[in-house]
Amino acid sequence: MICKRTISGLIVLLIALTLSSCFRYSFTGTSIPENVNSVYIPFFANQSSGGIGNLSDLLNEALIDRFITQTRLQLANSQADADAILEGSITRYTNQAFSITGEDETSLNEVTISINATFQFTDKNEPEWNNSFSGSATYDTNENPIEGETTAAQEALNQAADNMFNDAVSGW
């Protein structure tokens, strides 16, 4: 009898806390200020001297995906319509030997991508941060090297995009 009352009491308490406006939790780990509703992410130009052809597109897609699917923010079409701005450029792309066989042949290459980015709230004069980010991934040069490089570049961009997103939302 006491056990049933205790369980019933706990269930009522849990429901009350869940329905209470004081109980808020974000499963993404982000807590966004109430006055921030949109983010503008202009094209991240590829200013490196190499890389796969659609590097900038892949980075922009990865960043937009993170902000739109993991926050309540909407994508702004211009800087004037935004509450926050994330902008920058790809500054370095390298694709070099990572592992060499006993016959002095490359068995793994590593793609490393560096990006400079700035995150700023539009109602502030100074950026929240202006940082360099990088990501890297390896691929087997003995298998399909073109597809391998493309996949490694996407993995490296995703690492950098994750770090940019985390830095942007962790300070909120």
Domain spans, the chain: 33-170
Amino acid at 110: E
Take residue 89 and report the two structure tokens written for it.
Answer: 């450029």
For tokens 């902008």, the residue is 87
Bridging pattern class, strands 84-100 and 45-46: parallel
CB atoms within 10 A of CB 126: 8
> In the CATH hierarchy, which top-level class contains the domain 33-170?
alpha beta
How many Å apart are CA 111 and CA 7, to the nearest integer?
56
Q: pLDDT tens-digit profile of 153-168?
A: 999 999 999 999 999 9
What does the pLDDT average to over 127-143?
96
Residues 6+ apart with CB under 8 A from 18: none
Share of the chain above pLDDT 90, in %: 70
Of the listed ranges 5-14, 41-50, 82-91, 147-156, the least confidently predicted one is: 5-14
Answer for the pair 90, 59: CB distance below 8 angstroms, yes or no: yes
Take residue 22 and report the two structure tokens written for it.
Answer: 């004081």
Q: pLDDT tens-digit profile of 73-114?
A: 999 999 999 999 999 999 999 999 998 877 777 889 999 999
